[in-house]
Structure 1
Amino acid sequence: MTMISEPASFLQVRRSQPRSVQGSVSSSAVKSRVYVAMLAFACVYLAIAGRLVHLAQMDVAPANAWISAQDAIAASRPDLIDRNGEILATDIKTASLYAEPRRILDVDEAVEGLIRVLPDLNEDIVRRRLSSGAGFVWLQREITPKQAETIHNLGLPGVGFLSESQRFYPGGPTAGHIVGSVNVDNQGLAGIEKFIDDSWLSDLQSLGFASDRSMEPVRLSVDLRVQHVVRDELVKAMERYRAIAAAGIVLDAKTGEVVAMSSLPDYDPNDRAQALEKDRLNRATGGVFEMGSVFKTFTTAMALDSGAVSINDSFDATRPIRAGGRTISDFHGKNRILSVPEIFIYSSNIGTAKMMLATGVARQQEFMERLHLTKRLKTELPENAAPLLPPKWNELAAMTISFGHGISVTPMQTAVAAAALVNGGKLLPPTFQPRTQEEVEALEKQVISPEVSRVMRYLFRLNVLSGSGKRADVPGYTVGGKTGTAEKIENGKYVSNKRRNSFLSAFPMDDPRYVVLVVIDEPKPEREGIGATAGLNTAPVTGAIIRRAAPMLGVMPRFSQGDEPIEISY
C-alpha cells in the first residue's frame, strides 16, 4: 500500500505545479492588454484633442471675419416719411452670399454650382476667391430669396448667407432726387439720405448705436401726392413738347417748406447705377441756368422798392438800346411808350433795362444779394450749386441781368426769391423738413416792403389775365405768374432754336400760399405752325399742376372774383 500511495502523492504534486505557473502567466497577459488599451484610448483622445485645437485655430479667422462683416451690414436707417406719414424709404432684410475658403472641400464643385445659380458672377474671380484659403470672402451682395434657396439646396460646405439691411424706396423714382440713395453698405450717397448720415446717423453707427435698432422715422415736408402730380405733369410735358429735360418745384410761400420737387430725367434709387448717369442730375438745386424773363420779376420789385420807379411810371420802348457793342430789343415789341404794368405783361427787355438804369447798378447788385441770388443756397440736400455771376458787374452786365441773361442761378433760388416777393416781402430759406411757426418767425427776413409785395401780386395776376401767362389760369384759384423764354448758349453765342422755358407762379394771388415753378429744357412746338415760347408750354403745365394739386393742399376754389385782377393801393 505504501508503494501505491506514494505515486499518488507524487502525481498530485506534479499536477499542482503547472497550475501555479499558468496562473502567473495569465495575470501578466491581462495587465499587458489593459496597458495597451489605455495607451490606445490615450492616443485616440490625443488625436481628438489635436483635431479640436486645429479646428479651433481654423475658426478664429472666419469667426472674426464673419462678425466684422455682420457689423458692417447690420446698421439700420430710419424710415423717411412724407408730411402725411407715407413711407418714402425704409429698410428691408435681404441675404448676401459669402464663403469661408478654408472650409471649401471641392472648389470646382462650388464654382460650378454658384455660377449656375448666379450666372453674372465672374467665374475666374470666384475661383480665385474660393482657392485663396482666406477666412472670409464676399461672393454676392443682396441676392434674391429664390437665389438664396437654390444655393442653400446645393449643400456646399463653407458657403453661407448673412442677413443685411437693404434700402427700399416704395415710390421708385417719384421722389428720387429728394430722398437720394445709399450704397451697398446702406450708407447715404445723395439727397436726404446723405444729409441724415452727415448730421447724426454716421456718428451713431460708429458708436454702435444703430445696429438692428428701430429708429424714429424722419418726417419730410414733401407731400407725396403733390410730388406725384408734379412729376407726372413733367413727364407728359417732356413727351408732348419733345424736351430733353424738365424741373418743377412747389414751395410753401409762408414757411419755406418744399412741398414737391422733381427733376427729369430722374432715377430710381432702388437702382443705384442710374444715379451715376450724368443726365440724371438734380437740376432743381444742383444745376444753374439763365432763367430768362422771369428775372424781370426781380428787376421790377427792385425798381419799385428803391422808390426810383412807381407803378404809374412809363418808359420809352420805341427803339432798341445800344450798349457795349450790343443791341437790346424786344421779342414782340410794341414800339411805343410802356407803363410799368405793360412792361411786365408784354415782357419788354427795353423797358426792364431802363427801369434798372433808373435804379442803378449798385442797387441791383445789392438787391440780388438781398434775395440770395448771388451765393450758394443751402438746403438739406448736398446737391446745391453756386450761381454763375458776370466777371464784371458793369452797366452792360446789369442791363442783361435785368431780363435774365448774364447770370445763372438754380431753379430753387428763383422759387425762394419769388416767394419773398409775393408773401409780404419776407425771405425764408427753403427746407425739406417741417417747420414750425416759431421757426418761421425766427428765420424770416424782410427784403421788400409789404406795399411792393402787393404790387407784385397784382402784376403776377395781371399777367395771367392779360399777358403771356393766360394758359396758366385755373378757374377759382386766381393764379398769377411770369413767363421766361431764355435762348441757350452754344460755343459762346446765343442760339435762337434752343430755349429753356420757365413759368414762375403763385396762388391764390390775394393771399399767396404756394409758389410753383416749372422749367422745360429745349421744348419743341406742340404742332407745326406754332411757336415754342414759355406761354405755350410751361404756362399750361403749371396750370395743370395747380389744378390737380390745389385740392390736395387744402386750397379751396373761389369763383366769385376769379376773373378779375386783385385790387391794390399805392
Structure 2
Amino acid sequence: MIRTPLRPLARILEARAKGENPDAIERENLRLRQEQMRDQARTRAEGRLLILGVLFFCAFSAVGARMGLLAASEPQEPRAAASGAAIVAQRADITDRTGRILATNLATHSLYAQPPLMIDKEGSARALAKIFPDLNEQKLLAQFTGKRKFLWIRKKISPEQMQQVHDIGDPGLLFGPREMRLYPNGKLAAHVLGGTSFGREGVRSAEVIGTAGVEKAFDTYLRDPANGGQPLRLSLDLTVQTAVRQVLFGGMKLMNAKGAAAVMMDAHTGEIVSMVSLPDFDPNDRPRPLVEGDASDSPLFNRAVQGVYELGSTFKIFAAAQAMELGLVNPDTMVDADAPLVWGRHRIGEFHNKNYGPLLSVTDVIVKSSNVGTAKIALQIGTERQRDFLGKLGFFEATPVELVEAPGARPLLPPRWSDINTITVSYGHGLSASPLHLATAYSSLLNGGKRVQPTLLAGGRPATGERVVSERTSTAAREMLRQVVVRGTASFGEVPGYSVGGKTGTADKPRPSGGYYDNKVITTFASVFPTNDPKYVLVVTLDEPEDTTGPEPRRTAGWTAVPVAAEIIRRAAPLLGLRPEIEPQPGFAVTLTGN
C-alpha cells in the first residue's frame, strides 16, 4: 500500500518561504487521515449490519413459513425414526373392462393391547369377550396378566366395534390405522380376484399382499407406487359376469349338480369376458384351504381353470376340422359309421348302443355325435398328425392365463399314444383338459383359424398367432356346429336371433381308485355365437348333473349343460351389444316382379 506522508517536502518548503508554521501541515494531514479511516470503518460496519439484517430476515421468514405450514396441516402424533424399509400399505384398485370397481381399499383400524398400561385387566377381558364373541375371556385374562408387553387382539375391526372398545376406557387398549381389501361385489368373480392377506405388520400400518387369483399374479404391480395408483383393468364385464353366475347357479341347482363352471371368451382376442366356478366363496372372508379329502370339494377350487376333465364329444369337431384341413374329407364326404368298431381287443360303440351307419356324411358324424365315424376320421389323420394338431390348439400345456393357479393345471395325456388312444382322444376320452383349454381351442378354430391366448387383461388385440386352420375350414366347422343345434344333440341350445352353434360332450366321471362311475358324468357344451360372424365362445361344464323332470334321470349334456348355456347366451348377448338377427331359412329368396 502506498501511504501519503504527513509532512510533504514541497509543502514544508513552501510554508517556510511564506513564514508559516510547518507543524500545522502535519496536524492537518493527520486529521484528514483519521477522518478517512473513520469513514471507512463506518462504511464497513454498515455493510456488516445490512448483511446480518438480511440473514435474520431470511431465518425468521423460514421459521414463519414452517409454522404456517404446520398450522394448516392435519395434526399427527410424532413417530420415532427407525431403521428399515417403510411398509407400503396402499394397493391399486382392480376394475372390470368398463372401469367398475371389483376390488378396492377401505380404511379401518386394528386393536392391540399393551398389558403394562392396562388398569382393569379382568374387566377389559370380560368386555372384549362380549364385543368379540369368538374370543375366550379366560385366555385373554391370562395373556393380560402374563409377561407379554404387546398383544394383537384384532387385525381389523369395524367402526362400531371400535366405539365399543373406546367405551371400555382402558388406556392399555390401543388402535392402529389399517387398510383392508374390500370386494364390494361379494362372491362375484371370486375365483378370478382370489384374495389378500396381511404381510409385514406394524402398529401404524400393515402390508396387504395377494394370496390367490389376479391379486397374487399382479401383486407387484398393485403394490408398486410408481404406477401412481392406476387401477388394474380386467377383461371381465361385471354385468355379464353377474348374468352368467345367476344362470349357472340356478342351472346347477335345477340339474342337481355337484359343481359347475362357465367360461365366455372373445373369440378374436382371447379376452375372458366371464369366468364362473361354483361353488364359490366371498373373498372378503376367504375360507381356509382343505387339508384332507378331494381338493375339488373346496369352494376355493377354480373348476374353470384347475378342473381337468375328460370333455367328451366336444373334441369331435377337432378331428373333423383337421381332416378337412388336410384335404382328406369335406363336409359331405361319406364316412363308414357302422357300429360297433372292433380294434384289437377294444370295442367302440355308440351311446345307448345305437348304430348310425352304415354311412354318414362328415357333417352328420358331428350332428349325431358318432363315436365310430369320428374314430374312422381320426385313423385317416394318424397319430402323429393328431398330436401335432391338438398341440397347436394348446392341449399339451397349461393355459397362460394370468392366474397363479393356472400353471398347475396341465392336461392329462395318454402315457403312450397308440392307435387306440388316437381313436378315443378323437371323441374326448383319454385326454383330460380344463374348460378354459376347451374355450381357447374353440376360439382358435372358429375365429377364422388363428390361435388365441386366453387373457384376463382388457385391451387385447385380434389374434395374430399362428394359423391353425384356413378360413374355409373354420367356416365349415362353424356350419357343422350350427347344424348340431338346429337338428342334432344340442337342440335345446337354440336362442332366437343369435345363431348358436356348438357341440355337446358327456364323459363318465373317473373313480379316484380307478375306472369310471356308472351313474356319474361330466357334461359340457362348447358353443359359439353368432355362427355366421363369430364373436364369443361359451363353455359350460356341470359336475354330476342329473335332470329328474322326466320319468327317468337324464344325465347327458343335451339335457343338462345345453339349456343352461342357452339361457346364459339369451341373457348375456344383449349385454354384450349383440343385436338379434333374423336367420334366413334354407331356400329363402326375394323375387322381383314387375307391374
Distance 1:305 1:138 in 2: 66
Q: Deviations over 1:493-516 (max 9, x none)?
A: 223311111111001111100001
Listed as ranges, the gaps of 5+ residues in structure 2 are 1-77, 200-207, 589-595
Deviation at 1:560, TM superposition (A): 4.3
Distance 1:338 1:378 in 2: 38
1:240 aligns with 2:254: yes
Shift of the 564–98 alpha-carbon distance from structure 1 to 2, 3 Å rule, reads farther
Alignment of 1:453-468 (within 5 A): 453-468=474-489
Deviation at 1:67, TM superposition (A): 8.3
2:446 corresponds to which residue?
A: 422
Distance 1:300 1:123 in 2: 69
Tell me the secondary structure at the aligned position of residue 363 of structure 1.
Answer: helix
Asked if the contact 1:481/1:506 (under 8 Å) is kept, the reply is yes
1:250 aligns with 2:250: no
Asked if the contact 2:112/2:152 (under 8 Å) is kept, the reply is yes
Deviation at 1:308, TM superposition (A): 2.4
Shift of the 285–485 alpha-carbon distance from structure 1 to 2, 3 Å rule, reads same
Asked if the contact 2:241/2:276 (under 8 Å) is kept, the reply is yes
1:503 aligns with 2:525: yes
Listed as ranges, the gaps of 5+ residues in structure 1 are 1-61
Deviates more, 1:132-141 or 1:517-526: 132-141
Tell me the secondary structure at the aligned position of residue 163 of structure 2.
Answer: helix
1:395 corresponds to which residue?
A: 419
Pick aligned residue for 1:315 from 335, 344, 353? 335
Q: Which amino acid aligns with 2:410?
A: A
Alignment of 1:24-423 (within 5 A): 75-185=89-199, 186-197=208-219, 199-201=220-222, 204=224, 209=225, 215-273=229-287, 278-280=297-299, 281-331=301-351, 332-384=354-406, 385-423=409-447
2:55 corresponds to which residue?
A: none
Shift of the 173–157 alpha-carbon distance from structure 1 to 2, 3 Å rule, reads same
Deviation at 1:133, TM superposition (A): 4.5
1:525 aligns with 2:521: no
RMSD: 2.4
Shift of the 540–274 alpha-carbon distance from structure 1 to 2, 3 Å rule, reads farther
Deviation at 1:447, TM superposition (A): 1.1
Deviation at 1:335, TM superposition (A): 3.4
Deviation at 1:113, TM superposition (A): 2.5
Tell me the secondary structure at the aligned position of residue 483 of structure 1.
Answer: strand
Asked if the contact 1:183/1:272 (under 8 Å) is kept, the reply is no
Q: Which amino acid aligns with 2:558?
A: G
1:553 aligns with 2:576: yes
1:29 corresponds to which residue?
A: none
Distance 1:565 1:190 in 2: 54
1:49 corresponds to which residue?
A: none
Distance 2:443 2:327 in 1: 21
State the TM-score, normalizing by the size of structure 1.
0.82
Q: Which amino acid aligns with 1:229?
A: A
Asked if the contact 1:247/1:262 (under 8 Å) is kept, the reply is yes
Shift of the 214–294 alpha-carbon distance from structure 1 to 2, 3 Å rule, reads same
Pick aligned residue for 1:516 from 531, 535, 538? 538
Asked if the contact 1:458/1:565 (under 8 Å) is kept, the reply is no
Tell me the secondary structure at the aligned position of residue 322 of structure 2.
Answer: helix
1:541 aligns with 2:564: yes
Deviation at 1:243, TM superposition (A): 0.6
Q: Which amino acid aligns with 2:336?
A: D
Distance 2:122 2:365 in 1: 79
Tell me the secondary structure at the aligned position of residue 174 of structure 1.
Answer: coil
Where is the helix percentage greater, Structure 1 or Structure 2? 1
Distance 2:267 2:314 in 1: 17
The size of the alignment, in residue pairs, is 491
Distance 1:565 1:279 in 2: 53
Shift of the 545–298 alpha-carbon distance from structure 1 to 2, 3 Å rule, reads same
Distance 1:241 1:392 in 2: 36
Asked if the contact 1:191/1:381 (under 8 Å) is kept, the reply is yes
Q: Deviations over 1:135-182 (max 9, x none)?
A: 432111212211110111111122111121111111111111111111
1:449 aligns with 2:470: yes
Q: Which amino acid aligns with 1:555?
A: L
Q: Which amino acid aligns with 2:526?
A: L
Distance 1:466 1:293 in 2: 16
Distance 2:431 2:96 in 1: 34
Q: Which amino acid aligns with 2:509?
A: K
Distance 1:434 1:117 in 2: 44
Asked if the contact 1:76/1:165 (under 8 Å) is kept, the reply is yes
Distance 1:283 1:312 in 2: 37
Asked if the contact 1:309/1:359 (under 8 Å) is kept, the reply is no
Deviates more, 1:419-428 or 1:119-128: 119-128
Distance 2:249 2:289 in 1: 18
Distance 2:523 2:350 in 1: 17
Deviation at 1:116, TM superposition (A): 2.7
Asked if the contact 2:251/2:564 (under 8 Å) is kept, the reply is yes
Deviation at 1:69, TM superposition (A): 13
Deviation at 1:397, TM superposition (A): 1.1
Distance 1:166 1:359 in 2: 56
Deviates more, 1:404-413 or 1:111-120: 111-120
Deviation at 1:63, TM superposition (A): 7.1
Asked if the contact 1:461/1:565 (under 8 Å) is kept, the reply is no
Pick aligned residue for 1:472 from 490, 493, 501? 493
Distance 2:527 2:394 in 1: 19
Distance 1:116 1:174 in 2: 33
Deviates more, 1:360-369 or 1:520-529: 520-529
Deviates more, 1:314-323 or 1:146-155: 314-323
Shift of the 123–71 alpha-carbon distance from structure 1 to 2, 3 Å rule, reads farther
